[in-house]
């Protein structure tokens, strides 16, 4: 039996909880690349995931995870070849990750997980990533000898700088460093709420490079290419609010909604377990 631990890195509102709930629905269906095993003695406690599915079945979004919550849900899985593994799926209030950045340090429990994990999953919601592309225009103008003083900068970090700095810190505290290109932990990047971005011919990795070029270049310089994959993820397929009463979710069930776009692009695929199957597969 292989025990697989992963670290999930996603800020507040990035889609962690809804992906976990929808993933659980798919795993239960047993039609995708990964399936839930039923041969267990004591069934694991999956109530947190059931709660999300209950909300979706009623046609509305689940609640925000309080900052103090840290869960680790055991998912007993099997793949298409019949290999069994126990996946430890974490969920937590996304403020915990912002705190790592703000305080420039991680708690022991996080450090331990980062060091041990065989896979890191990075959840980035491109639509709400703050960037300051107008700086480029300002630089061009400065080069021409003119400085436009009317350009004001918003508060906070550019998402490129934020993610690069955060990853450097996490790599450092977990002892991975960034001098030699690494293959472990394998890295899956999920561009969440992908439906918000509209249709495109670009692959998910190209979309990441378009919006966050510095982050994309940093990742390519730290990880070996075979150890990274970038997916588009729309766990819900659309926006849902706490007070929504979405009829498609109510009538057809949450399992009829949500999709991923594979690293090579192409059509949406309803099997939300595919990015994890990639992560768990032996290189």
Ligand X SMILES: Nc1nc2c(ncn2[C@@H]2O[C@H](COP(=O)(O)OP(=O)(O)OP(=O)(O)O)[C@@H](O)[C@H]2O)c(=O)[nH]1
- Chain residues that interact with ligand X, rule: CB under 6 A: 10, 12-18, 61, 64-65, 93-94, 193, 195-196, 234-236, 238-240
17 binds Mg ion (CB under 5 A): yes
Q: What residue 151 binds from Mg ion, ligand X, none (CB within 5 to 8 A, per partner kind)?
A: none
Q: Which is nearer to Mg ion, 96 or 188 (CB)?
A: 96
Question: Of 139 and 239, which has the nearer Cβ to ligand X?
Answer: 239
- Among Mg ion, ligand X, none, what does residue 236 contact (CB within 5–8 Å per kind)? ligand X
Piece of 60-68, 99-107, 126-134, 135-143 that binds Mg ion (CB under 5 A): 60-68
To the nearest whole angstrom, how small is the minimum distance from the Cβ of residue 144 to ligand X?
41
Of 76 and 93, nearer to ligand X (C-beta) is 93
Looking at the Cβ atoms of 65 and 234, the one nearer to Mg ion is 65
Query: Could you say which of ligand X, Mg ion, none residue 203 binds, taking C-beta under 5 to 8 angstroms by partner kind?
Result: none
Q: How far is the CB of 275 from ligand X (least distance, A)?
A: 14
Report the residue closest to ligand X, judged by CB.
94
- Nearest approach, Cβ of residue 50 and Mg ion (Å): 15
Q: Does 65 bind Mg ion (CB under 5 A)?
A: yes
Binding piece for Mg ion, criterion CB under 5 A, among 12-20, 101-109, 169-177, 247-255: 12-20
HEC secondary structure over the chain: CEEEEEEEECCCCCCHHHHHHHHHHHHHHCCCCEEECCCCCCCCCCHHHHHHHHHHHCCCCCCCCCCCCEEEEEEEEEECCCCEEEEEEEEECCHHHHHHHHHCCCCHHHHHHHHHCCEEEEEECHHHCCCCCHHHHHHHHHHCCCCCCCCCCCCCCCHHHHHHHHHHHHHHHCCCCCCCCECCCEEEEEECCHHHHCCCCCCHHHHHHHHCHHHHHHHHHHECHHHEEEEEEECCCCCCCCCCCCHHHHHHCHHHCCEEECCCCCCCECCCCHHHHHHHCCC
Shortest CB 92 distance to ligand X, Å: 7
Report, in Å, the least distance between residue 234 CB and ligand X.
4
Listed residue (89, 94, 84, 81) closest to 117, CA to CA = 89
Q: How far apart are CA 68 and CA 90, in angstroms?
A: 13
Q: Which is nearer to ligand X, 176 or 262 (by Cβ)?
A: 262
**Which residues are paired to 89 by β-bridges?**
73
15 binds, among Mg ion, ligand X, none (CB under 5 to 8 A by kind): ligand X
Nearest Cα to 159, choosing from 186, 187, 137, 127?
A: 127
Tell the burial category of 124 from Cβ atoms under 10 Å away from its Cβ (0-12, 13-18, 19+).
buried
Which option in Mg ion, ligand X, none does residue 170 bind, with CB closer than 5 to 8 A by kind? none
Candidates 11-19, 136-144, 193-201, 247-255; binding stretch for Mg ion (CB under 5 A): 11-19
Tell me which residues touch Mg ion (CB under 5 A). 16-17, 65
């Amino acid at each position: 039996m292989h025990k697989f631990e992963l670290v999930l890195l996603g800020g507040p509102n990035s889609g962690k909880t809804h992906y976990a709930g929808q993933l659980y629905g798919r795993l239960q269906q047993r039609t995708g690349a990964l399936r839930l095993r039923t041969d267990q003695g004591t069934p694991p406690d999956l109530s947190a995931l059931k709660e999300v599915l209950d909300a979706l079945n009623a046609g509305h979004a689940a609640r925000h995870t309080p900052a103090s919550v840290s869960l680790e849900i055991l998912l007993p899985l099997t793949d298409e070849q019949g290999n069994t593994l126990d996946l430890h799926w974490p969920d937590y209030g996304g403020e915990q990750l912002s705190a790592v950045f703000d305080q420039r340090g991680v708690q022991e429990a996080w450090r331990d997980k980062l060091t041990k994990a065989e896979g890191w999953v990075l959840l980035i919601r491109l639509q709400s990533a703050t960037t300051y592309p107008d700086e480029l225009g300002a630089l061009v103008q400065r080069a021409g000898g003119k400085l436009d003083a009317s350009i004001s900068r918003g508060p906070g970090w550019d998402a490129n700088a934020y993610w690069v700095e955060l990853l450097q810190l996490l790599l450092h505290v977990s002892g991975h460093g960034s001098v030699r290109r690494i293959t472990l932990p394998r890295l899956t990047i999920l561009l969440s709420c992908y439906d918000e971005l509209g249709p495109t011919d670009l692959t998910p990795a190209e979309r990441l490079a378009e919006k966050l070029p510095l982050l994309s270049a940093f990742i390519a310089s730290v990880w070996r290419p075979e150890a990274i994959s970038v997916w588009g993820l729309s766990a819900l397929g659309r926006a849902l609010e706490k007070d929504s009463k979405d009829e498609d979710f109510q009538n057809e069930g949450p399992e009829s909604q949500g999709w991923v776009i594979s690293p090579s692009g192409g059509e949406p695929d309803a099997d939300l377990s595919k990015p994890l199957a990639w992560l768990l597969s032996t290189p």
